[in-house]
Amino acid sequence: MHKINIAIDGPAGSGKSTVAKETAAHLSYLYIDTGAMYRSLTFRALQANISEQDEDSLLRLLTDMDITLKHGEKEAQVQVFVNGQLLGEEIRSQAVTGKVSEVSAHGKIREEMVARQQKIAEQKGVVLDGRDIGTFVLPGAELKIYLYASVDERTKRRHLENIANGRPSDILATREELQRRDHLDRERSIAPLKQAKDAVPIDTTDLTSEEVVARICRIAREKE
């Protein structure tokens, strides 16, 4: 048995982070939430008053940021440390969510983030979730999964998640924001969200996260 790398991509609300985290726990793999990396850069840019359009300043900011991801058993979401300081819920705020797709569309930003993600994956036994993992970050990943679900279901999940985490949430605004972000992520010129040719597509609309995890783990075990 040898450890493999698992790439999980899909649009917002398709279930990626829950499924990736639980899959990693089942297999005793490391889970890397790449969206949290782009979110922490966006959060820091907002704090520093750097425009989401200012690629060079964003890159300078990122170069000075050591981003470490940790996940305790109890936390639903990954903990992000930037230069040793814990960033909390603020990386999931509306302000960050509203700008993150613009920040992550820049080529120099993606280049740096992808290099960091590839470095982490060198050790193998890593589950990465994002938008470009199977297509750009780990094109050679042994297992690629593409999760998707209906817009209604994805909106419902995001809305309930917001409420559970004490974030203000309006269902119509949540739906619009999700579709806006999907559009930007799919249409950007560099590494757009796309199903890799060799990815296993899973429609999660009517599945529980446990069912999706069980399916991914079954395939992973065959490849280990």
Residues binding ligand C5P (CB under 6 A): 12, 34-35, 38-39, 100-101, 104, 130-133, 181, 185
Least Å distance, CB 130 to ligand C5P, is 2
| Residue nearer to ligand C5P on the CB measure, 96 or 220 | 96
Tell me if 3 is assigned to a ligand binding site: no
CB of 190 to ligand C5P, least distance (A): 9
Tell me whether residue 16 is annotated as binding. yes
In whole angstroms, what is the distance from residue 128 CA to residue 180 CA?
23
Burial level of 89, CB count in 10 A (0-12/13-18/19+)? exposed
Cβ closest to ligand C5P, residue 51 vs residue 224: 51
- Nearest in space to 143 (alpha carbons), one of 5, 48, 1: 5
11 is in an annotated binding site: yes
Whose Cβ is closer to ligand C5P: residue 34's or residue 213's? 34
Sheet with 5-9, edge to edge strand ranges: 30-33, 126-130, 5-9, 143-148, 200-203
15 is in an annotated binding site: yes
* Cβ proximity to ligand C5P, 133 vs 202, nearer residue: 133
Q: Taking a C-beta distance cutoff of 8 angstroms, is the pair 155, 13 a contact?
A: yes
Given a contact cutoff of 8 angstroms between Cβ atoms, the answer to whether 137 and 58 are in contact is no
Distances (CA, A) of 3 to 13, 204, 223: 28, 26, 9
Q: Shortest approach of ligand C5P to residue 221 CB, angstroms?
A: 25
Distance, in Å, from the CA atom of 222 to the CA atom of 212, rounded to the nearest integer, reads: 16
CB of 104 to ligand C5P, least distance (A): 4
Q: Give the nearest distance from C-beta 181 to ligand C5P in angstroms.
A: 5
139 is in an annotated binding site: no
Binding residue numbers for ATP: 10-18
Binding residue numbers: 10-18
